[in-house]
Chain A
Amino acid sequence: MTYPGPSVEGEITHMLAEDADIAEHGVIVTRHPHGVTLHGCVNSEELRDLIMERVRRAYPNLVVDSDIELARLDPPAGEEEL
């Protein structure tokens, strides 16, 4: 394990947006003493797995934790009356 570099949050943010297979802007990166945690919500398990795989491969010496939720695509339970 390695202490994360000073710009790791920015590097990962760029990577997730600019990787043609991912193109994800909705993931926020926060650091902890031995790595980073990715937070957000994506709409497929396949995309979540791909994000984690790419980040862990790019930063093999960091602990990369996932707090990425999967979007719920059910109809809404009710309506909002304005």
Chain B
Amino acid sequence: VTEAVRVAAVGDVHIDEKVAGAFRPALLELRERADMLLLAGDLTRRGTPREAEFVAREFADLPLPVIAVLGNHDYHSDRAGEVVAALREAGLTVLDGDGCVVDVNGVQVGVAGLSGFGGGFAGRCVSEFGEPQTKAFAEYGRVQAERLEKALAALEADLRIALTHYAPVPDTLVGEPFEIYPFLGSYLLGDAIDRTGTAISFHGHAHAGSLRGMTPGGVPVRNVAQPVLQAAYGIFDVPT
């Protein structure tokens, strides 16, 4: 049984015709370096089926499981269903409030995820009060967190990993303008992670944020937005 699971992760690759193929050389090195690759949303720039085809080609036929969630850019063209279908057709696992389990040398590694949403952080967050639009914004964030918690709790695994696009803690947003934190994540996601015995959480979305953070319950959080990593992906050894 392995003592650590090696997780490669990146978000915000924003693949379109301008960058198609640019990640591929680095991805082909993953065979020797990681047990799985997690994609933390914003895989496309505008969320079009054409861009999804570029993403599918970029991440197809890699020698390890590829597990993804969508990000806000992937929803922009209102064609997320077609985006997901193209990625699944290429062999990627796309999570949206559900999970999957990967056997890594005898260790059952569960990954649960979804895009998540904004709403802000404890003491500085939106509430379900006021105009219908404000209530809808707050409610959507709450429901996303509830779905994440349910998916994490349902994993029958030795190790649980959370994968979102939006941030579950403010630590990994340091570097972003403070005023936009409510649009970058929600503390409700962090609460969901803390309540489910999760080992580590990965997210993207905050291009100018920071790599490392921690939930109030002590779960490590990593912002793997590609501009933060300044590499094609990051690799993290997660003890089992």
Q: Residues of A at under 8 Å CB distance from B?
A: 20, 23, 25-26, 28, 40-41, 43-44, 46-47, 71-82
CA distance A73 to B76 in the complex (A): 25
Query: Are A47 and B18 in contact, CB atoms less than 8 angstroms apart?
Result: yes
Please, which residues of chain A bring their CB within 8 A of the CB of B177? Answer: 28
Query: Are B29 and A40 in contact, CB atoms less than 8 angstroms apart?
Result: no
Most buried by B among A28, A47, A74, A79: A79
Query: Are A82 and B14 in contact, CB atoms less than 8 angstroms apart?
Result: no
Query: Are B76 and A41 in contact, CB atoms less than 8 angstroms apart?
Result: no
Q: Residues of B at under 8 Å CB distance from A?
A: 4, 6, 12-14, 18-19, 22-23, 26, 29, 33, 45-46, 73, 76, 177, 200, 207-208, 220, 222, 226-227, 229-239
CA distance A47 to B15 in the complex (A): 12
CB closest chain-A residue, reference B73: A23
Query: Are B200 and A82 in contact, CB atoms less than 8 angstroms apart?
Result: yes
B23 to chain A, nearest CB (A): 6
Known: A43-B14, A72-B231, A74-B231. A82 touches B220 (CB 8 A): yes
Please, which residues of chain B bring their CB within 8 A of the CB of A71? Answer: 226-227, 230
B240 to chain A, nearest CB (A): 11
Known: A40-B207, A40-B208, A41-B207. A73 touches B232 (CB 8 A): yes
Known: A23-B73, A43-B14. A74 touches B26 (CB 8 A): yes
